[in-house]
């Protein structure tokens, strides 16, 4: 028996245009009834199988990173970026706009890195036994996300479950809380001598104004610079510790 790979035009055309084209038509239940009634049952089952496979393939996800044994998918990155924008809106996007990041787009590798860092920070927080976030805080954050994404086509296309939204939201809150804890512990004190040394080394930047006019600003600048360097070094250590890999960047 020879099966024609191209379904007849009788309401069972899945792709418009050229084979493999992007347009897709909905298949009505009535079409299946008519097809089953007038066709060989085996042919019906084969076509039904490929129909379901084609519809399931609309949501594509791929492995984009790994932290120890935890695998990060592109879909997880998409969900996480939306949650992050809702909880802490970026000034780079218009108000009430969701970040529609996709594999292959510029900046997607950076989004993957962000999720990987969140995951590794949470693992480190668990080691310090400070990974707890009040349930009320999680509930409020989840409610905020659900309200912001309601009716959004991009979000519906990702098909996030309630469990995923809660898990990724919790991860963001834990990571933020632990980063605050680490930041406070890493913040150092810049002495007047250190500030004076910087002033003398960069005298041309300050003109003829005396050191006292810039002392506080110099100390704040050096403290921030020192903190950023310590955090950067810490990130490098925990990334090696938990064997973080960004497959998009490789």
* Arithmetic mean of pLDDT, 65-82: 96
Same domain, 43 and 83: no
Look at residues 4, 50, 60, 61 and name the one whose alpha carbon lies nearest to residue 27: 50
What percent of the chain has a predicted confidence (pLDDT) above 90?
63
Structural domain includes residue 18? yes
pLDDT in tens, 38-52: 445 444 443 443 443
In this structure, what are the phi and psi dihedrals at residue 24, rounded to the nearest 5 degrees?
-135, 135
Same domain, 6 and 118: no
* Arithmetic mean of pLDDT, 126-143: 91
Structural domain includes residue 212? no
Q: How far is CA 107 from the centre of its chain?
A: 11
Structural domain includes residue 210? no
Half-sphere exposure at residue 138, Cβ-oriented, CA atoms within 13 angstroms: 18
pLDDT in tens, 161-183: 999 999 999 999 999 999 999 99
Same domain, 94 and 128: yes
Structural domain span for residue 134 = 65-185+242-246
Domain end call among 41, 58, 75? 58
Measured between alpha carbons, how far is 230 from 142 in angstroms, rounded to an integer? 32
Q: Is residue 130 pLDDT above 70, yes or no? A: yes
Same domain, 167 and 111: yes
Regarding beta strands 70-73 and 63-67, do their DSSP bridges make them parallel or antiparallel, or are they unpaired? antiparallel
Structural domain includes residue 222? no
Domain end call among 28, 58, 88? 58
Same domain, 2 and 111: no
Same domain, 30 and 89: no
Question: In this predicted structure, what is the pLDDT of residue 156?
Answer: 94
Same domain, 148 and 38: no
Q: How many domains does the chain have?
A: 2
The region that residue 124 occupies, defined by phi over 0 for left and psi between -120 and 50 for alpha, beta otherwise, is alpha
Measured between alpha carbons, how far is 175 from 121 in angstroms, rounded to an integer? 6
Look at residues 43, 42, 56 and name the one whose alpha carbon lies nearest to residue 14: 56
pLDDT in tens, 7-60: 444 443 333 344 444 444 443 443 434 434 444 544 444 344 344 344 444 456
Same domain, 54 and 151: no
In this structure, what are the phi and psi dihedrals at residue 22, rounded to the nearest 5 degrees?
-80, -15
């Amino acid at each position: 028996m020879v099966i024609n790979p191209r379904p007849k035009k009788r309401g069972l055309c899945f792709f418009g245009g050229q084979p493999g084209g992007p347009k897709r038509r909905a298949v009505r239940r009535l079409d299946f009834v008519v097809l089953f009634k007038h066709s060989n049952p085996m042919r019906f089952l084969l076509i039904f199988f490929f129909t379901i496979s084609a519809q399931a393939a609309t949501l594509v996800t791929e492995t984009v990173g790994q932290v120890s044994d935890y695998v990060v998918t592109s879909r997880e990155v998409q969900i996480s970026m939306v949650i992050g924008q809702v909880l802490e809106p970026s000034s780079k996007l218009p108000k009430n706009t969701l970040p529609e990041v996709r594999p292959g787009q510029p900046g997607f590798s950076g989004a993957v890195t962000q999720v990987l860092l969140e995951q590794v920070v949470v693992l480190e927080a668990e080691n310090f036994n400070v990974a707890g976030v009040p349930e009320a805080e999680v509930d409020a954050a989840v409610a905020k996300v659900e309200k912001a994404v309601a009716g959004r086509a991009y979000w519906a296309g990702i098909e996030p479950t309630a469990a995923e939204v809660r898990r990724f939201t919790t991860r963001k809150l834990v990571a933020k809380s632990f980063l605050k804890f680490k930041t406070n512990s890493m913040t150092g004190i810049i002495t007047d001598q250190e500030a004076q040394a910087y002033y003398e080394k960069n005298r041309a930047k300050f003109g003829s104004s005396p050191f006292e006019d810039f002392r506080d600003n110099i100390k704040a600048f050096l403290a921030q610079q020192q903190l950023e360097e310590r955090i950067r070094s810490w990130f490098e250590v925990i990334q090696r510790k938990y064997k973080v890999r960004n497959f998009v960047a490789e």
